[in-house]
Amino acid sequence: MTFTGLSVFPLIPLVDDVVDEAAFATQVERLAAAGVDSITALGSTGSYAYLSRQERATVARLAVEHAGTVPVFIGIGALRTSQVLAHAEDAQRAGAAGLLLAPMTYQPLTDDDVYELFRTVTAHSSVPVIVYDNPGTTRFTFNLDLYARIAELPGIASFKIPGVPTDLGEARAHIAKIRAALPEWVTIGVSGDAVAATGLVSGCAAWYSVIGGTLPELALRITRAAQNGDHQAVAAESERLAPLWALFSDLGGSLHVTAAIAEQLGFARRPCLPLPILGLDDDQRAHVARVLEGLGIRP
């Protein structure tokens, strides 16, 4: 099944406010060579909301061209439905295996607004759609009833859910409620890297990973251990990475930290984020470097 295992979200670096196509293509090739299960381009780690239609179409094309046989999912979120459909058209023309859609908003959206968005997109798509539930950036909060309504639409393949509770029992109960609301063919994928291990052992079939888009080997060890039923190894590896997860919460979020890691390791030039996002300062970058060194991660 395509929508299981490790799906990684690569950073899309910019240089002088222009997408660094060569750096992005090289990163996609690295991810494919590492053996990830899928690559999701133009997710939040890819700063999709800051890019023009042409830039996004170029990124979609590069991702598919350089991923080899690895399936590529493309983010198509935008404020207007017509824009979403245009991005979906570009992604499908590029050869995307799936579309990732978050309900972006400036004015607050209702449940009916969001349902109609997904109904329209699935009606115009020839590839499956992943529902991207990311209230931290979209400011829209899904509920189980809306999950169930959207899941019945033809072409819905997976839900990328927010991070699960840290307590294993609570996480399993949480995933069980979501599982009961969805058809059996629709997969559940956890996000929030710090709790991904808990999500995977609690019933999630996929991990939509931020860190996997830059350091795929770390995410692969956790994912493969979970798939093999080795929950002890899953917990041990996630605990080993606790200093990395702490960076996400301490330094302004995963995008800032991931960008700093990519720059530290030479995968992107500094600064690589779209303005007005400034990224981390020198002291924060030094902290990131110390954590990477402690984990044995070097340029």
How is residue 209 written in tokens? Answer: 């990973």
Instruction: Note whether 252 and 283 are within 8 A (CB).
Output: no
Over residues 73-83, the pLDDT tens digits come to 999 999 999 99
Domain that holds residue 169: 5-232
End-to-end CA distance of the chain: 34
Give the model's confidence band at 298: pLDDT under 50 very low, under 70 low, under 90 confident, else very high. Answer: confident
Q: What is the pLDDT of residues 161-190, one digit of tens each?
A: 999 999 999 999 999 999 999 999 999 999
pLDDT digits 0-9 by tens, 219-254 = 999 999 999 999 999 999 999 999 999 999 999 899
In 143-172, which positions are buried (b, 16+ CB within 10 angstroms) versus exposed (e)? Answer: eeebbebbbebebbbbbbbebbbeeeeebb
Residues 30-48 as b/e (b if ≥16 CB within 10 A, e otherwise) read bbbebebbbbbbbbbbbbb
Q: Would residue 108 count as lying in a domain?
A: yes
Question: What pLDDT does 252 receive?
Answer: 87
Which of 90-94, 168-172, 186-190, 295-299 bottoms out in mean pLDDT, i.e. has the lowest?
295-299
**Full DSSP string of 60-101:** HHHHHHHSTTS-EEEE---SSHHHHHHHHHHHHHHT-SEEEE
Give the count of domains, the chain: 1
Report pLDDT for 2.
Answer: 82
List the CATH number of the domain containing 47. 3.20.20.70
In this structure, is residue 240 part of a structural domain? no
Q: Give the integer Cα–Cα distance in Å for 75 and 150.
A: 18
Q: Is residue 27 part of a domain?
A: yes
pLDDT band at 299 (very low <50, low <70, confident <90, very high): confident
Inform me whether the pLDDT recorded for 127 exceeds 70.
yes
In a domain, 272, yes or no: no
Which helix (H) or strand (E) segment holds residue 8: the answer is: strand 5-8
